[in-house]
Amino acid sequence: MIQSYRFRYANEIAGGFVLLGLGLLIVGIYAAGHAQGWFDKNLVLKTKFDMDKGTYGLQEGAEVRILSTLAGRVGEIKPSDDGGIETTLILQGKFGKFVRGDSIAKVSKKFEVAGDAFVNITLGTSSQPILNDGDYIKCVQDVELIETAKRIIDDLRQAAVPMLDEVSGILSNVNSVTRQLERREGTAGRLIGDPEWARDVDGIVKDVRQTAAQLPLIALKIDGVVTNIQDLAKSLKDTAAGFPKVTEGAVGVVQDVRSVTGGLTGQVANIQAVLLQTESMFRETQVLVEGLQKNWLFGTGDKAADTTPLQLPLPAVGERRQP
């Protein structure tokens, strides 16, 4: 009785869990579909390709982008009634307001010149009407893609041609050197084919090794010369340090000479004054002698007139009188 009561509602409980799981599954599918736009109304646009250029590498299911944002996919690619090729562009309804009458669907590559092709729809002007479901949109190949590819090819050509020329020159030089080696021409060829040259090279190598062995002794001698130069520089520095004292002594001597010269100048001035006074005294004596000669006490007046008066020569100022 107890066991029958325990399993009485087992089926109902299991059925409830199953229904709950199914409900959660439906909710998850709805959320995923809503995120992917499965339940949104799509905008389907038609487009035709140029017969000469084909579909530009576009395949069914390729991405359709608006403003670099995934907005839809490429539908079935099939022949059209007029003998061409056409396809549909399936866009999410929320992007429909960006597609207008002058919008263009450009086919580009993901990596500029390589990769899968995709459609990039340009924005139309606000003055143009919005395209409706089933309208045609112009589809062209992205010209920038072609120009980019041409530019890359031109750059590669410009970089490759000089490189090939250099490689060709290098190969020519290598061939020339190889021919010289084969013919035993040139320095390298003679070194390889001429034993005498090989012996000379060995002697040169030995001389170089001997010179290298003497380098430490030369370095020691150079260190000694450098030490002597440093000592000489130190001596010159000490001598230069005594120059200020010598200069001070020379300045003192010059000052003493100047003071002595000043004293001599004063003495010379005093001597000149004495000479002037002596000259004046000689002149007065001469006048007195002339007066005495004219006096009657020393002779007659006529004889006094004929007699040459006594004149004492007076030395000039600064001139010495001869004895």
Q: How many domains does the chain have?
A: 3
Band of residue 209 on the pLDDT scale cut at 50, 70, 90 = confident
Q: Does residue 254 belong to any structural domain of this protein?
A: no
Distance CA 99, CA 41 (A): 15
Q: Does residue 58 belong to any structural domain of this protein?
A: yes
Shared-domain flag, residues 116 and 34: no
Instruction: Give the pLDDT confidence score for residue 121 in this predicted structure.
Output: 92
Residue 134, CA distances (Å) to 100, 137, 276 in order: 13, 10, 144
Distance CA 317, CA 300 (A): 38
Q: Does residue 247 belong to any structural domain of this protein?
A: no
Shared-domain flag, residues 1 and 77: no
Residue carrying structure tokens 């090819």: 153
Q: Does residue 218 belong to any structural domain of this protein?
A: no
Instruction: Give the pLDDT confidence score for residue 137 in this predicted structure.
Output: 92
Q: Does residue 95 belong to any structural domain of this protein?
A: yes
Shared-domain flag, residues 65 and 137: yes
Instruction: Give the pLDDT confidence score for residue 292 in this predicted structure.
Output: 65
Shared-domain flag, residues 62 and 76: yes
Instruction: Give the pLDDT confidence score for residue 306 in this predicted structure.
Output: 47
Shared-domain flag, residues 88 and 166: no
Shared-domain flag, residues 136 and 48: yes
Instruction: Give the pLDDT confidence score for residue 185 in this predicted structure.
Output: 64
Instruction: Give the pLDDT confidence score for residue 75 in this predicted structure.
Output: 92
Shared-domain flag, residues 174 and 164: yes
Q: Does residue 56 belong to any structural domain of this protein?
A: yes
More confident residue, 270 or 163: 163
Q: Does residue 169 belong to any structural domain of this protein?
A: yes
Instruction: Give the pLDDT confidence score for residue 184 in this predicted structure.
Output: 64
Does position 103 have pLDDT exceeding 90, yes or no?
Answer: yes
Q: Does residue 279 belong to any structural domain of this protein?
A: no
Shared-domain flag, residues 48 and 116: yes
Does position 322 have pLDDT exceeding 60, yes or no?
Answer: no
**Which domain range does residue 156 map to?**
145-193
**What DSSP designation does 40 have?**
S
SS3 category, 89: strand
| Interval 164-190: pLDDT, tens | 878 888 887 787 777 776 666 666 666
More confident residue, 92 or 273: 92
Shared-domain flag, residues 158 and 119: no
Instruction: Give the pLDDT confidence score for residue 301 in this predicted structure.
Output: 47
Contact 196, 203 (CB under 8 A): no
Rounded to the nearest integer, the mean pLDDT of the chain is 75
More confident residue, 113 or 238: 238
| Interval 112-144: pLDDT, tens | 667 788 999 998 888 999 999 889 999 888 777
Residue carrying structure tokens 């004219």: 294
Shared-domain flag, residues 151 and 92: no
Helices within 95-194 (DSSP H only): 143-183, 186-193
Distance CA 271, CA 47 (A): 136
Contact 150, 93 (CB under 8 A): no
Band of residue 290 on the pLDDT scale cut at 50, 70, 90 = confident
| Interval 239-253: pLDDT, tens | 777 666 766 766 666
